[in-house]
Amino acid sequence: MADVPNGQPSDAPLELYNSILAQSEHVRCLKASKASKDEIDSAVQKLLSLKTSYKAIVGEESKPGCFPENPAPGSKSGPEATKGSEDFVDPWTVRTSSAKGIDYDKLIVQFGSSKIDKELINRIERATGQRPHRFLRRGIFFSHRDMNQVLDAYENKKPFYLYTGRGPSSEAMHVGHLIPFIFTKWLQDVFNVPLVVQMSDDEKYLWKDLTLEQAYSYTLENAKDIIACGFDINKTFIFSDLEYMGMSPGFYKNVVKIQKHVTFNQVKGIFGFTDSDCIGKISFPAVQAAPSFSNCFPQIFGDRADIQCLIPCAIDQDPYFRMTRDVAPRIGYPKPALLHSTFFPALQGAQTKMSASDPNSSIFLTDTAKQIRTKVNKHAFSGGRDTVEEHRQFGGNCDVDVSFMYLTFFLEDDDRLEQIRKDYTSGAMLTGELKKALIDILQPLIAEHQARRKEVTDEMVKEFMTPRQLSFHFQ
């Protein structure tokens, strides 16, 4: 079921989308088998009719990889919503032609999610009694699905739990990888709820040139960085897919249920898989979907299958959970709610992608104070002018300046951030001074993280990753 604004299910877009995929495959098979012209023409006419119906309902052409979601009433959709935009987002690729980065307002329309507005932020503040996290105040977490439903449950003393994850593709994580974990820790603290963290080492084995042993070793190393974010061991379960699924019948049963309700055409359409992809990739989305359902974790929730899940993640992971939300009601589970973050920009600018293979594309959690200073001074894309004279006269552009972008993530003081923005925009602050302000924030932040990580022992990792009852008792 696709989501519609009033909360009532509508099957039409999804059914049409799947029918189009199936009919396209049928036409291809007819042509390949050299069927008669009349038979092929009839099949093509049916395909065109389905596409016309889809456009009439959804407001735009059907496209492989663009899973249907109904936009909010009155919102722009279709060609007007995407005209002139070259942004592309899926779980593996983020591409934009703008130095400012992705247009997130357009992405909300494209994905059919809801904007995190001031009203919702105020409601979170009232429910928790805590000042909203800077990621909420500054629009870094900018989009959601069903967060009001989670707050309804919380206010009525009904339980929910948090689920987030990490795909361990290398030993060293970078500062961008910390964003969902920093925010998830805040959510865990203010709502006082349990958290499960999926380490999708199976995914990285399927997509990367890694052995199973390498993928699992990265899980253990990355888990230390996650634990160093300060998660409460009594509220947190970290698990490796490679390890946990073999010891959890509930987890595997849910994976199978999901697999039965998602067609091959659907996953091709959602994720862009091709006939040459290994079948492991095609079946993996069900593995990422399963932790959204509480009975995957009987040690925490017993046999409860009705506890809603809230998933903080970057917006590129949303296709997995659009699929999950479609399947959930059909197998008798609540739909997971989501909070979506923006993307953390590479040092070279919001148009480029951070890469573990390029040490200069980001600040890594293993970097020394000297490396941080060198990287920021040498590689951080500047919104400043070509000369000091021009900069003093015309000012800098905070919208494209990576040092300022990084400060919006890591500088807690709103007043100081606003003063920096004004000073840089007016030309009173030079690029070198802005970079120094960032270096002064990053160096202690990374040093403190490294100190906490040194305290994380192999025994602590094992305890976090041992299936066990957490300090929660649900009525």
Per-residue pLDDT tens for 154-209? 999 998 999 999 999 998 899 999 999 999 999 999 999 999 999 999 999 999 99
Same domain, 280 and 422: no
Pair 188, 331 in one domain: yes
Mean pLDDT of 7-26: 62
Based on the fold, state whether residues 285 and 427 are members of the same structural domain.
no
**pLDDT value of position 30:** 77
Please indicate whether residue 97 or residue 457 has the higher confidence score (pLDDT).
457
Same domain, 111 and 192: yes
Whether 22 is covered by a domain: the verdict is no
Q: Which domain holds residue 424?
A: 369-455
**Segment 102-140, tens digit of pLDDT:** 788 888 888 889 999 999 999 999 999 999 999 999 999
Residue 238 lies in a domain: yes
- Share the mean pLDDT of the chain: 88
- What CATH number does the domain containing 390 carry? 1.10.240.10
Give the pLDDT of residue 90: 66
pLDDT in the model for residue 75? 36
Instruction: Answer yes or no: is 20 within a domain.
Output: no
User: Which CATH number covers residue 334?
Assistant: 3.40.50.620
pLDDT at res. 6: 35
Is 215's pLDDT higher than 90?
yes
- Together in a domain, 139 and 215: yes
Is the pLDDT at 317 greater than 90? The verdict is yes
Say if residue 247 is in the same domain as residue 135: yes
Percent of the chain with pLDDT over 90: 68
Q: Does 375 share its domain with 336?
A: no
Residue 262 is assigned to a structural domain of this protein: yes
On whether residue 26 sits in a domain, the answer given is no
Co-location of 420 and 292 in the same domain: no
pLDDT tens for each residue of 25-79: 677 777 767 788 888 888 888 888 888 877 777 777 776 556 565 433 333 333 3
The total number of structural domains that make up the chain: 2
Which of the four pLDDT bands, split at 50, 70 and 90, describes residue 255?
very high
- Higher pLDDT residue, 122 or 357? 122
pLDDT for 148: 96
Do 187 and 335 sit in the same domain of this protein? Answer: yes
Mean pLDDT of 414-437: 97
* Residues β-bridged to residue 341: 141, 314
pLDDT of residue 79: 33
Whether 84 has a pLDDT exceeding 50, the answer reads no
In a domain, 326, yes or no: yes
Please tell me the predicted confidence (pLDDT) of residue 69.
Answer: 52
pLDDT score, position 83: 39
329 lies in the same domain as 393: no
**pLDDT at 77 (0 to 100):** 36
Residue 2 predicted with pLDDT over 50: no
